[in-house]
Structure 1
Amino acid sequence: MLDPVTLAVIQAGLQQVCDEMDLTFSRAAFSPVIAEADDRSDGIYSATDGSLIAQGSRGLPVFVGVMQFSTRTILERIRNGLTAAPDPGDIYMVNDPYLGGTHLMDVRFAMPVWRKGQIFCWLSNTGHWPDTGGMVPGGFSASAISAEQEGLRIPPVKLFKKGVLDTEIWQIICSNIRVSDQRIGDVQAQASALLIGAERLAVLLDRYGDATVTQAIAEMRTRAAQQMLAMIGLITDGVYQATAIVDSDGVVNEPLKIAVTVSKAADGLTFDFSESSPPCMGPMNSVRATTLSSVYLAMRHIFPDVPISAGAFEPLTVTGIEGTFLDAQYPRPVSGCAAEVSQRIAEAVFAALVQAIPDRVTAAPAGTSGNFGLGGYDPQTGQSYVMYQISGGGYGGNADHDGLSNGCSTIGISKAPPVEIMEQKFPVLYRHYALHEGSGGAGQHRGGFGLDYEIELLRGEARASFVMDHGRTGPLGAQGGQDGAVNRVEVTRDGETFVPPHLSKAQDIVLAPGDRVRVRTPGGGGFGDPAQRDPALVAEDVRLGRYSAAQARLLWNWPG
């Protein structure tokens, strides 16, 4: 029996290994989306079945489950002879969404850790590449109808063989993506993070011994399952239903429905999505790995004290996704699945469970990453570029306090890159960057505010594309609270302003110098009856300009 102190130290040590990988990856990366926005994650996975052992605390929660599935796929393909067996120093890469992934821009690396001639575990990480080819710069095609239109799809291959970059594979990749000369910095950063992880893990194993660490990993998994079951025990046995709406698939201008029925029993929770919309034509389908991970990350938000381990997922069962747009099969397009649909899945879970445990679940957050891609040629530098902008939004109010303003997306800790960095690297000017005032849903505890920014193209010609959501309906309020404000996109060309037909999705919008794009991200849903809000808090919001006096009178019957 492993003593509790040793178990705790090893658990913290494994977490620290992942945290150092995260830090190395961001510090060494070239692209602002990784170096500044931290759109990446690192973890440790079982050599037997690819199950999650530990993940960095600063990694994207949606990758908690995704990398577990992609590592498992690599192991299965090796056993079946579909992928070459590993040698020391090998690093595999894969971005195929249908093999345990998300979308093509999330590129996963995986490396076995060897001990005495045997594989002890695998290290894996995911980084968001600014471009992987396809119809539009940045990969977020709003009107793709097949996977091939979204970019280069790569099955598990050895990018590094015995520690050496395979130049032939690398040349194939570079021949199919934009600004390929800039990607080698991200590739080396991603590989370096795994090498640092292997070094740090070796120190831990040498100190405590392989057998002791193996025993600790097994105990961590068992205890995580027990802790999740204990948390689920706070929920009254019963059935809870909710629905979240996706604006459209980008091709057919009709909403998509995510309908979930959550059933609580003694052995855990079952999430049934069988009443959700069928597969769609456009890129808002979600692959199985992302759908499952979205449920896992929702439960992580609700019960954050449960340790990150495969054991935490064992009491959670997901059913009914077959035949819906939440189980995309090749060649269905999926560029919106990780950044958008995943958040709406989590929102549906929140809306169901807030009925059962309102003291632990918030009203809906913004529910979109605000994916905005801009690609073109800068005549001043003589170089092509691909700019990727993600945006924060309002968090939902909760039983204790108002929602956070301009918070990161539900699926991760990624934040909008600093304006100064973006203006330095790309030919753009941010004419406006502020909170989306008035966007928080009314309630006893109001929702947080979204972001309001406007970008102007300064030089050359460029093409703009975006895949966002919540333009049709705002984030759901809870317990009598009102919905947050919707996402709003406006494009100004030649002095004329228009709103895209799909509200939150469009592609290949040609911009000339002086043209602008303005984005206002959603506010979070309100929590509780607005009539119960402290009038002093309403007055303070009005004083700070968060709401106008007219809005306050309408939403809260404010007498001021």
Structure 2
Amino acid sequence: MTTALDPVTLGVIQNGLQQVCNEMDLAFCRAAFSPVIAEAMDRSDGIYAAEDGALIAQGDLGLPVFVGTMQYGTQAVIERVADPQPDDVIICNDPYLGGTHLMDVRFYRPFFYDGELFCWLANTGHWPDTGGMVPGGFSARATEVEQEGLRIPPVKLFKRGELDPEILAIIQSNIRIADQRIGDIKAQAAALKIGDKRLAALLDRYGKDTVAQAIKELRERAARLMRATIAEVPDGTYYGEAFVDSDGVVDEPLKIAMTITVDGDEMTFDMAGSSPPCRGPMNSVIATTRSSIYLAIKHVFPNVPLNAGTYEPLKIVDPKGTFLYAEYPRPVSGCAAEVSQRIAEAVFAALTKAIPDRLFAAPAGSSGNFALGGYDPDKGRSYVMYVISGGGYGGHPGGDGLTNGCSTIGISKSQPIEVLEQYYPVLFERYALAEGSGGAGEHRGGFGINYRVRVRRGEARASMVMDHGRTGPQGVLGGGDGGANQVRFEFADGRVHVPAHLSKEQDITVLPGDVIDVRTPGGGGYGDPAKRAAERIEDDRVKGYYGESGPDAPFGRRD
């Protein structure tokens, strides 16, 4: 029988594993060329078990939605890549093999110690473009995955440390702005190499057997703590639902039906009754669907440490036959950034009925995916700009929701507009609160943002896959819904265009002087608005958050 590690050694190794991931995160974002990785931090790094790909540790600076997907992606690599060697790096972006959308490109590096495979190091980075119908990959009207970009199966991009020029040539020949991707590729691979060195140092210090024992104990402890946490939730069956505005092709809402059954120290999630597979790009692959539930539970129970053990008590019934179980060739560009957040919203709505004192109204729940691709005549080169935007968080028992918070699925943030203006031929004329967008409540929702970006030079094509344009984020316990997502094109010739699908559109030609105006969702309200403290109402009025002193009336809203 193996003797349990003393708490000090266990804690040091736990933090050591975390530090390895954090250093990979920092190296990746500091070396990457693309602002979406370097500034918006749309990426993640982690350590995964050699035998089954189970999560061992993930960086603090990584997107939570990748917690589950990278675990399933590592499993796919283990099953499909024969004879991994030291310094190999496998690339894959296939959504159906433990992925998200095609722009999230995953690298995997086998970690060997004393000549034996000990674990896998992996990371994901959002590339600004992987080909497809529109710059940026967010094709709102795609009906098959090939229209969204280049799909790469698990192949060795680096073989024993040497970049394979033939595979690189295939990739570069099928994506836009290919010459700039080599910087992201080398940054992504270098991050894993740093992880290899740091993890080897940790094993040198404590020994392979001791670290392996610590990993096993940490997983068991996380599972026990999650079970103890679930046991505090009243047994019962709880139902919640959320809606995707449309799939971008058919202008009808998609329903997410979430039934959560709490039985002792386990939770079961059943999505039967959700909408069938859709024609457009709002299908979700199963890895993303599962990961969305995982991250939602981590929002509700933030104190449980993060590894594969955390999710052992969570039983998910595969939603086959629905748009939440996408199979080839269904398009999926909206699954990671949008559908995942609707799934989390449905989980929150269900659990609010069980533990209202620990829950909150729905957050903005949209990453605001906006892509602009064109040619800059002054710089003599093409470009693809991808913008992430924040929104309001929901009100909660302790107070009002956060304003301009990051998306539910991650810590990705809006890139500094000064950086975007330096890289691309655009001018941000406005970047401010979307006043009035917070849902009313005893504790109101936080506000989204309103930005206006003007094209300065050259012709470009604009595309977006957002959500919450039909209805805003849900209020709870009597609180009002948050403000909806709104997009408007204002052309220099006086024309105005509001997308038919409100927050989903593709291939809108824009010229110098044309403006894209976006208002992101505010968070839902928590509790009866009549119970809001008078001084807080007055404070909102004085600051002009609501009423006549706020911005112009919203445009394009549809109830």
What is the aligned counterpart of 2:369 among 368, 371, 389?
371
Q: 1:419 to 1:207 in 2, by over 3 A?
A: same
1:444/1:529 contact within 8 Å kept = yes
Pairs within 5 Å for 1:44-443: 44-77=47-80, 83-443=81-441
* Offset of residue 361 of structure 1: 1.3
Establish whether residue 2 from structure 1 lines up as the match of residue 16 from structure 2: no
Please show how residues 9-24 of structure 1 align to structure 2 within 5 Å: 9-24=12-27
Report the Cα distance in structure 2 between the residues aligned to 1:476 and 1:233, rounded to whole angstroms: 27
Q: Please, what is the CA RMSD of the aligned residues?
A: 0.9
Letter in 1 for 2:466: M
Residue 28 (structure 1) shift: 0.4
Question: Does the CA contact (< 8 Å) of 1:395 and 1:524 recur in 2?
Answer: yes
Once the 2 structures are TM-superposed, how far is the Cα of residue 121 of structure 1 from its aligned partner?
0.5
Question: How far, CA to CA, are the matches of 1:395 and 1:148 in structure 2?
Answer: 35
Query: CA shift at 1:545, angstroms?
Result: 1.4
Q: Work out the number of aligned pairs and report it.
A: 546
Does the CA contact (< 8 Å) of 2:131 and 2:175 recur in 1? yes
Q: Contact between 2:286 and 2:318, CA under 8 Å: does it hold in 1?
A: no
State the 1:550 CA deviation: 8.9
* Partner Cα distance (1:524, 1:233) in 2: 29
- The letter for the 2-side match of 1:417 is Q
1:33 and 1:461 map into 2 onto residues whose CA distance is 22
Q: How much does 1:266 deviate?
A: 1.3
Report the counterpart of residue 80 of structure 1 in structure 2.
none
Query: What is the rounded CA distance, in whole Å, between the counterparts of 1:182 and 1:413 in structure 2?
Result: 24
Deviation for aligned residue 1:139? 0.2
* 1: CA distance, partners of 2:529 / 2:337: 31
**1:542 deviation in Å?**
1.2
The DSSP-based 3-state class of the residue aligned with 2:134 is coil
Which blocks of at least 5 consecutive residues in structure 1 are unaligned? 78-82, 552-560
How far off its partner does 1:234 sit?
1.8
Q: Is structure 2 residue 531 aligned with structure 1 residue 528?
A: no
Could you tell me whether the CA contact under 8 Å between 1:542 and 1:549 is conserved in 2? no
Given that residues 228 and 265 in structure 2 are in contact (C-alpha distance below 8 angstroms), is that contact kept between their aligned partners in structure 1?
no
State the TM-score, normalizing by the size of structure 2: 0.97
Letter in 2 for 1:37: A
Q: Name the counterpart of 1:496.
A: 495
Q: What does the per-residue CA deviation read over 1:347-393, in whole Å, with 9 as the maximum and x for residues that have no partner?
A: 00001101111121111000100000000000000000000001000
How many angstroms apart in 1 are the aligned matches of 2:438 and 2:227?
34
Distance 1:174 1:301 in 2: 38
The sequence identity of aligned pairs, in percent, is: 67
Tell me the alpha carbon deviations over residues 386-423 of structure 1, each in whole angstroms, 9 at most, x when there is no partner.
00001000001100111000000000000000000000
Q: Distance in 2 between matches of 1:299 and 1:172?
A: 40
From the superposition, tell whether residues 444 and 90 of structure 1 become closer, same or farther in structure 2 (CA, over 3 Å): same
Deviation at 1:221, TM superposition (A): 0.5
Q: Matches of 2:549 and 2:542 in 1, distance apart?
A: 13
Structure 2 counterpart of 1:203, one-letter code:
A
Give 1:456-471 correspondences, 5 Å limit. 456-471=454-469
Contact 2:230 2:265 in 1 (8 A): no
**Secondary structure of the residue that 1:359 maps to in structure 2?**
helix
Which residue of 462, 484, 487 corresponds with 2:485?
A: 487
Q: How far did 1:84 drift?
A: 3.6
Distance in 1, matches of 2:448 and 2:265, equals 39
| Distance in 2, Cα, partners of 1:214 & 1:276 | 41
